[in-house]
Amino acid sequence: MSVVITGRYIGSKKVEMTHEESGSRMVTEAPKDNGGEGLSFSPTDLVAAAFGSCVITTIAIVAERGGIIVDGMHMRVEKHMQREPRRVGNMPLTVHLPARLTEEERRKLEAAGRACPVHRSLHPEVSAEIEYVYDVG
């Protein structure tokens, strides 16, 4: 399976990208420390966003298959850049899940989160630890 995403430079260090299958569009821009305005996601911000969103999407898929309700699940990811070479160096992710989940459900969903394709695609030198917190009412 393949997905085509096209992009075109629209000036001011911004790129408009189109998801060809759906027509959905988004704009990225250079980060502030590289002359961007900070009004959109930077390309490296998308890496962090993809990581967090992939983890909770994968958890949701496994939860749905197992009849586990994860309503209210949410996440927070931080992106920390490394200077030499300039790249994403660290992305700590916290996933908040329902407090009422059993130990078995927790183990199953945590394993699913660790198996997300984005997490598996990251370079081994990128620290991408996942913390699970059971505090959703």
- Read off the pLDDT of residues 14-30 as tens digits, 9 standing for 90 and up: 999 999 999 999 999 99
Length of the chain: 137
Q: Tell me which residue of 45, 51, 54, 63 sits closest to 136, measured CA to CA.
A: 63
DSSP string, 15-44: EEEEETTT--EEEEE--GGGT--SSSB-HH
The string of pLDDT tens digits covering residues 79-100 is 999 999 999 999 999 999 999 9
Hey, what amino acid is at 5? I
User: What is the reported pTM?
Assistant: 0.93
Class of domain 45-136: alpha beta
Residue owning tokens 């980060």: 31
State the chain's mean pLDDT as an integer.
Answer: 97
pLDDT above 90 (res 1): no
